[in-house]
Amino acid sequence: MAAKTYKICCLPGDGIGPEVIAEGKKVLAAVGAKADVEFIFQDHLIGGAAIDACGDPLPDETLAAAKAADAVFLASVGGPKWDSTDPNAPRPEQGLLRIRKGLGLYTNLRPVKIYDALASASTLRPEVIRGVDMVLVRELTGGIYFGRRERFYDEEGAGENGGRGQRAYDMMEYHEYEVVRIARQAFEAARKRKNKVTSVDKRNVLETSRMWREIVHRVHDEEYPDVELEDLLVDNTAMQLISRPADFDVVVTENMFGDILSDEAAQITGSLGMLASASLGDGVSLFEPSAGSAPDIAGLGVANPLAQILSAGMLLTYALDMTEEAGWIEAAVERVLNEGWRTRDIADESTPADHILGTSAMGDKVVAAL
Ligand code: IPM
Ligand code: MG
């Protein structure tokens, strides 16, 4: 019997999800054996897999199991199989959004770090990406993702320029308390890092952004005057992220801006397959790679499991307070990369063919390096 046991609710989901989560579990189990901790993994349905099984992308049973666990470990959801022209058909992504909301996971941390060994995998020049080490703090349960939305017919526009009268809207709305709490998370994170926060908005156009900026500054002035704060418009941020990525420390922004900027930030490192994430609230936390379900390579055994494995590291840090053990995972990943092992997505012309590994072989390498 191990000294401690933890219940991990596992949600493999769709596409490459089941393949990469298997490697995440493998690594966690190996860490557990070394640290005298037992992880009890229980798989549950989410996304398209859950739609296929019971017509609901987030079955009640899954949410209940997540709430009862010590941490939730999720892979990915979605795929063309569930694309439908029927606006009322259930969509896999709803499962993800509902579990975020259901667990109150308003903070999403997405660390973006350059591994020296992967510098050449980036599409940016080595001197531009040297020293990149930032964390995106994305607001995760508000904004346009959760606002009122509607699609309807409006006689008035029908017939004009071939339009048949369809209309739709998605509302972006924020409450003051939602901005206050995410701002605090960003400032707290900055204090443990390089003490700098970049707050991203679109103040020149959006009312939500004008409120966002005002509140972020108030929280800063009243509670975190020691942290350096800069504001940046979201379009300008998209540009600065690739022109001076090493200048960023903590970047805080609303839900949809964060979604878009995090894919861009991930590409600085060379691959979306390297980006881990932690979603935190006031209860159980959730850990998932920021990559998608990559349906084009699902089932081929070639997906990069490192984002999932690094998410396991974040799980140890944030959910179980096992910071030292999380360090083992990070060091093991770094070592495997330094030894030249690659999955297809992070390989380049200089990678010998026998150093390009499949999903499971990459997981084994990390376990061996632990
Ligand atoms: C992400 C993903 C999700 C999001 C999708 C799958 C709903 O892109 O976690 O970044 O938009 O939040
Ligand atoms: Mg995204």
CA–centroid distance, residue 287 to ligand 1 (Å): 13
Active-site residue, 235 included: yes
- For 60, other C-beta atoms within 10 Å of its C-beta total 10
C-alpha to C-alpha distance for 299 and 173, rounded to whole angstroms: 39
123-268 homologous superfamily: Isopropylmalate Dehydrogenase (3.40.718.10)
pLDDT tens digits along 12-64: 999 999 999 999 999 999 999 999 999 999 999 999 999 999 999 999 999 99
- Catalytically annotated residue among 202, 224, 318, 345: 202
The residue whose CA has the least distance to atom 11 of ligand 1 is 259
**pLDDT at 87 > cutoff 80:** no
pLDDT of amino acid 163: 85
Contact 92 CB / ligand 1 (< 6 Å): no
**pLDDT at 1 > cutoff 80:** no
**pLDDT at 110 > cutoff 80:** yes
pLDDT of amino acid 341: 97
Ligand (nearest to CA of 96): 1
**pLDDT at 157 > cutoff 80:** no
CA–centroid distance, residue 107 to ligand 1 (Å): 14
pLDDT of amino acid 60: 98
Average pLDDT over residues 245-252: 97
Question: What number does CATH give the domain 1-107+272-370?
Answer: 3.40.718.10
3-state secondary structure the chain: CCCEEEEEEEEEECCCHHHHHHHHHHHHHHHHHHHCEEEEEEECCCHHHHHHHHCCCCCHHHHHHHHHCCEEEEEECCCHHHCCCCCCCCCHHHHHHHHHHHCCCCEEEEEEECCHHHHHHCCCCHHHHCCCEEEEEEECCCHHHCCCEEEEECHHHCCHHHCCCEEEEECCCCCHHHHHHHHHHHHHHHHCCCCEEEEEECCCCCHHHHHHHHHHHHHHHHHCCCCEEEEEEHHHHHHHHHHCHHHCCEEEECHHHHHHHHHHHHHHCCCHHHCCCEEECCCCCEECCCCCCCHHHCCCCCCCCHHHHHHHHHHHHHCCCCHHHHHHHHHHHHHHHHCCCEEHHHCCCCCCHHHEECHHHHHHHHHHHC
pLDDT band per the 50, 70, 90 thresholds, residue 351: very high
pLDDT of amino acid 160: 77
**Is 31:89 a contact under the CB 8 Å cutoff?**
no
pLDDT of amino acid 2: 79
pLDDT of amino acid 122: 84
**Is 271:329 a contact under the CB 8 Å cutoff?**
no
pLDDT band per the 50, 70, 90 thresholds, residue 86: confident
- Catalytically annotated residue among 6, 106, 145, 174: 145
251's CB contacts (< 8 A; 6+ apart) are 134, 135, 136, 137, 197, 198, 200, 237, 261, 265
Active-site residue, 259 included: yes
Active-site residue, 4 included: no
Contact 93 CB / ligand 1 (< 6 Å): yes
Residue type, 246: A
Average confidence score pLDDT of the chain:
95
Contact 290 CB / ligand 1 (< 6 Å): yes
119 token code pair: 């510098």
pLDDT of amino acid 262: 92
**pLDDT at 118 > cutoff 90:** no
Contact 96 CB / ligand 1 (< 6 Å): yes
pLDDT tens digits along 284-337: 999 999 878 999 999 999 999 999 999 999 999 999 999 999 999 999 999 999
Contact 293 CB / ligand 1 (< 6 Å): no
Residue type, 118: L
pLDDT tens digits along 221-248: 999 999 999 999 999 999 999 999 999 9
CA–centroid distance, residue 259 to ligand 1 (Å): 6
pLDDT band per the 50, 70, 90 thresholds, residue 173: very high
What is this structure's pTM?
0.94
Active-site residue, 154 included: no
The residue whose CA has the least distance to atom 6 of ligand 1 is 93
Contact 78 CB / ligand 1 (< 6 Å): yes
**Is 209:202 a contact under the CB 8 Å cutoff?**
yes
pLDDT of amino acid 267: 87
- Catalytically annotated residue among 25, 259, 318, 345: 259
The residue whose CA has the least distance to atom 9 of ligand 1 is 290
Average pLDDT over residues 139-166: 90
pLDDT band per the 50, 70, 90 thresholds, residue 274: confident
**Is 256:144 a contact under the CB 8 Å cutoff?**
yes
The residue whose CA has the least distance to atom 12 of ligand 1 is 259
Say what percent of the chain tops pLDDT 70.
Answer: 100
Average pLDDT over residues 205-219: 98
Contact 259 CB / ligand 1 (< 6 Å): yes
**pLDDT at 7 > cutoff 90:** yes
The residue whose CA has the least distance to atom 8 of ligand 1 is 259
pLDDT of amino acid 150: 94
Place of tokens 């690594």: 27
pLDDT of amino acid 311: 98
Pairing of strands 71-76, 37-43: unpaired
C-alpha to C-alpha distance for 327 and 322, rounded to whole angstroms: 9
Q: Where in the chain is the domain with CATH 3.40.718.10?
A: 1-107+272-370, 123-268
The residue whose CA has the least distance to atom 10 of ligand 1 is 259
CA–centroid distance, residue 91 to ligand 1 (Å): 13
CA–centroid distance, residue 5 to ligand 1 (Å): 31
pLDDT tens digits along 324-342: 999 999 999 999 999 999 9
Q: From 101, 136, 259, 293, give the residue whose CB has the most ligand 1 atoms within 8 Å, as the site to mutate.
A: 259
Say what percent of the chain tops pLDDT 90.
Answer: 86
The answer to which of 127-136, 137-146, 197-206 has the lowest mean pLDDT is 127-136
